[in-house]
């Protein structure tokens, strides 16, 4: 019981309720998230992924239902919602738009400063975070507006991990990056997950990204979780996923085609690496 | 919270008012405002009120939407009302220590507050039933005579440019509101506090919100300028409309109603 870090209990959310603009963005969602899990959330545009994750750190308040963090109801009157926000760190879509300080270092310090840590600790945290995101140190004292897109992204991510959250949520951290920048950011996230054992929730459009890194996938469709499980279980429903406007990773299609052609392969491979091994095994090498 | 700003926000519905030509609505609003500030007795006031209620009913927009615009100025209304009530000389009705309520003051206060309230509700009816694009198109066309007049006396009134600037500004209100919301959330996720503290603290706490907001507004302005340039935009000259404004029989009937209203109003005013 104790290792359930976050629980969503029948959560619903409506934008602009009771008006002509009403949108039901979350529809009776119940989920449990365990400590140390690396979760990927996928779903087509407008399926409610961003809305879902913003509930987890109390930035949005559910119109119905309850959310528990470490067993405590975050909607309790005396619950300290600001401290929740520093424990459940959230990196938004295009996080570089939140940079504002005169130097990168000061910007990363902003979170720890708001946590009320002393100056020394703030600097230590900022330094650690910037090292972790592998931003070269010649940029520490540069203005955040002088960095390139990818560097800004790193600085912004550092700004969140400097608070040492126990759950880290990233909403499409790779949107708008080139393939190399994307792999670097994802590698970094997965490194952090391994080193620090944090719970990580990654929202993404890309099946490949998700399949390569996470150990559990939640598929959102019209404000509800449609599938929830290990990548290979979820991608075995690739036909249904297509109906939702999604697709499985390329290798899932390759393996299924091979099988259809009469080759005796296991179709559950989700990464190129697994597929390679499976094919080599089939060829008897 | 930020989404509750209704001024300049369109409410989609299928009503007579929504399908009227924007020029009719602009003219109607003008007439309404003039009569609102020239009534001087109760029957005329009742007439305006009935007209307003009728138009609200016709618009099919929930009444709660129109009152939302009032919320932001409620303090102003209360203060102005109180000043009027206590500080106007006249025959004293009630005495509260050093303060006295006079008959003229009381009447002034009621008149002023109801004028302000009805002004805001009335203009909200127009903006709620007209898209910003229609509104500026209507304005541009209605003020078209200015450019002709300007050409005659060799002055450029920039009617098209002003209409263009207005429509862009209106178009960007919701975008900037959304952006503010997003940045606010992002900073709150880093522990920023926008609610508590004194005035100075609150103001300094706004820096993490305002800096990114300005940066993004400038970025958007540049992007838009390039996009317009790339599509060969070069001002109003020779520019045609995809949907030129044309009057329908509905608009004619609306104009007739408006003129009847004006005649009736001034007839009653002259008689009483
Ligand atoms: N501020 C808002 N006001 C009204 N409706 C909104 C707002 N934000 C999102 N929505 C609606 O809520 C639904 C879910 O939106 P959400 O942003 O959670 O989707 P998403 O899965 O994150 O999409 P994307 O992949 O494009 O980021 C959509 O239908 C969207 O139109
Ligand atoms: Mg999103």
Cα angle for residues A138, A139, A141 (degrees, 5° grid): 95
pLDDT score of B1 more than 50: no
Q: What is the mean pLDDT of chain B?
A: 86
Calculate how far, in angstroms, residue B178's C-alpha sits from the geometric centre of ligand 2.
14
What share of chain A has pLDDT > 70, as a percent? 99
Q: Which of A76-80, A180-184, B210-214 has the lowest mean pLDDT?
A: A180-184
Q: Is B188 in the A-facing interface, judged by CB distances under 8 Å?
A: yes
pLDDT tens by residue, A100-137: 999 999 999 999 999 999 999 999 999 999 998 889 98
Enumerate the domain spans of chain A.
4-226
Quick one: average pLDDT of B155-161?
83
Contacts B216 to A, Cβ<8 Å: 97
Q: Does the distance separating the beta carbons of A90 and B212 come in below 8 Å?
A: no
Give the number of A-B residue pairs with CB atoms closer than 8 Å.
63
Searching chain A, which residue's CA lies closest to the CA of residue B184?
A98
Quick one: average pLDDT of A48-73?
92
Tell me which residue range forms the domain holding B216: 2-271
CA proximity to B214, closest of A89, A97, A20? A97
Q: Is B175 in the A-facing interface, judged by CB distances under 8 Å?
A: no
pLDDT tens by residue, A234-283: 988 888 888 888 888 888 888 888 888 888 888 888 888 888 888 888 88
For A181, other C-beta atoms within 10 Å of its C-beta total 17
Confidence at B8, pLDDT banded by 50, 70, 90: low
Q: Which of A3-17, A60-74, B78-92, B210-224 has the lowest mean pLDDT?
A: B78-92
Contacts A95 to B, Cβ<8 Å: 186
Q: Is A50 in the B-facing interface, judged by CB distances under 8 Å?
A: no
A4-226: which CATH architecture? 3-Layer(aba) Sandwich (3.40)
- Smallest Cβ–Cβ distance between A145 and the set B12, B191, B215 belongs to B215
Cα A88 from chain centre: 12
Provide the pLDDT for residue B198.
80
pLDDT tens by residue, B24-73: 999 999 999 999 999 888 899 999 999 999 999 999 998 888 887 787 78
**Nearest ligand 1 atom, CA A93:** 27
Q: Specify the residue for token string 């708001």.
A: A114
What share of chain A has pLDDT > 90, as a percent? 49
Which stretch of DSSP H or E encloses residue A111? helix A104-114
* Minimal CA separation from B205 to chain A, in Å: 11
Q: Is the CB of A54 under 6 A from ligand 1?
A: no
Q: Is B261 helix (H, G, I), strand (E, B) or coil?
A: helix
* Minimal CA separation from B57 to chain A, in Å: 17
- Structurally, how many domains does chain B consist of? 1
Q: Is the CB of A142 under 6 A from ligand 1?
A: no
- Smallest Cβ–Cβ distance between B189 and the set A19, A57, A99 belongs to A57
pLDDT score of A1 more than 50: no
Q: Specify the residue for token string 């990464």.
A: A271
**Distance (Å, rounded) from C-alpha A77 to C-alpha B75?**
29
pLDDT score of B259 more than 90: yes
* Minimal CA separation from A97 to chain B, in Å: 6
Is A25:A43 a contact under the CB 8 Å cutoff?
no
Q: Give me B210's structure tokens.
A: 């305002």
0.90 surpassed by complex ipTM: no
Q: Does the distance separating the beta carbons of A111 and B185 come in below 8 Å?
A: no
**Nearest ligand 1 atom, CA A21:** 4
**Distance (Å, rounded) from C-alpha B212 to C-alpha A235?**
40
pLDDT tens by residue, B93-152: 888 777 788 888 888 888 889 999 999 899 889 988 998 788 888 988 888 888 888 888
pTM > 0.90: yes or no? no
- Please state at what angle helix A250-260 crosses helix A272-282, rounded to 10 degrees: 20
**Nearest ligand 1 atom, CA A220:** 21
pLDDT tens by residue, A174-199: 887 888 888 888 988 898 888 888 89
Provide the pLDDT for residue B2.
44
Closest residue CA from atom 14 of ligand 1: A48
Provide the pLDDT for residue A2.
60
């Amino acid at each position: 019981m104790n290792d359930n870090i976050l629980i969503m209990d029948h959560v619903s959310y409506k934008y602009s309720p009771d008006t002509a603009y009403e949108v039901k963005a979350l529809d009776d969602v119940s989920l449990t998230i365990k400590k140390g899990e690396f979760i990927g959330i996928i779903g087509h545009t407008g399926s409610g992924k961003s809305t879902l994750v913003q509930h987890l750190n109390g930035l949005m308040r559910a119109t119905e239902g309850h959310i528990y963090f470490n067993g405590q109801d975050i909607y309790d009157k005396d619950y300290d919602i600001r401290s929740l926000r520093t424990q459940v760190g959230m990196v938004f879509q295009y996080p570089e738009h939140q940079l504002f300080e005169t130097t990168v270092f000061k910007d990363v310090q902003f979170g720890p400063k708001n946590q009320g840590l002393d100056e020394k600790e703030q600097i230590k945290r900022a330094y650690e975070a910037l090292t972790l995101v592998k931003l070269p140190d010649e940029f520490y004292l540069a203005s955040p507006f002088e960095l390139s897109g990818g560097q800004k992204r790193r600085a912004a991510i550092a700004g969140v991990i400097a608070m040492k959250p126990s759950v880290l949520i990233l909403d499409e951290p790779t949107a708008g990056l080139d393939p190399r920048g994307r792999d670097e950011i994802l590698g970094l996230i997965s490194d952090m997950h391994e080193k620090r054992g944090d719970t990580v929730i990654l929202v993404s459009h890309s099946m490949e990204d998700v399949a390569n890194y996470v150990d559990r996938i939640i598929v959102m469709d019209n404000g509800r979780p449609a599938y929830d499980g290990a990548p290979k279980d979820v991608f075995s429903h690739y036909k249904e996923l297509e109906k939702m406007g999604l697709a499985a990773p390329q290798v899932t299609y390759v393996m299924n085609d091979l099988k259809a052609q009469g080759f005796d392969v296991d179709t559950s491979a989700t990464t190129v690496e697994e597929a390679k091994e499976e094919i080599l095994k089939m060829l008897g090498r | 919270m930020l989404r509750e700003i209704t001024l300049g926000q369109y409410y989609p519905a299928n009503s007579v008012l929504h399908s009227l030509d924007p020029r009719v609505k602009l003219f109607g609003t003008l007439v309404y405002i003039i009569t609102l500030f020239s009534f001087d007795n109760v029957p005329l006031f009742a007439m305006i009120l009935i007209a307003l209620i009728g138009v609200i009913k016709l618009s099919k927009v929930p009444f709660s939407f129109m009152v939302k615009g009032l919320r932001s100025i409620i303090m102003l209304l209360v203060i102005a009302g109180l000043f009027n009530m206590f500080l106007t000389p006249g025959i004293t009705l009630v005495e509260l220590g050093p303060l006295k309520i006079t008959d003229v003051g009381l009447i002034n206060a009621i008149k002023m507050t109801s004028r302000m309230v009805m002004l805001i509700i009335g203009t909200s009816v127009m903006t709620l039933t007209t898209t910003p694009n229609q509104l500026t198109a209507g304005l541009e066309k209605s003020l078209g005579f200015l450019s002709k007049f300007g050409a005659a006396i060799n002055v450029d009134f920039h009617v098209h440019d002003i209409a263009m600037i207005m429509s862009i500004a209106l178009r960007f209100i919701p975008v900037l509101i959304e952006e503010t919301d997003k940045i606010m959330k992002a900073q709150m996720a880093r522990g920023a506090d926008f609610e508590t503290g004194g005035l100075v603290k609150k103001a300094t706490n706004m820096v993490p919100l305002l800096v990114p907001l300005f940066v993004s507004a400038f970025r958007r302005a540049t992007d838009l300028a390039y996009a317009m340039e790339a599509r060969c935009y070069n001002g109003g000259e020779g520019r045609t409309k995809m949907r030129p404004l044309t009057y329908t029989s509905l608009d004619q009937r609306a104009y007739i109603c408006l003129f009847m209203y004006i005649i009736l109003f001034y007839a009653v005013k002259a008689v009483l």
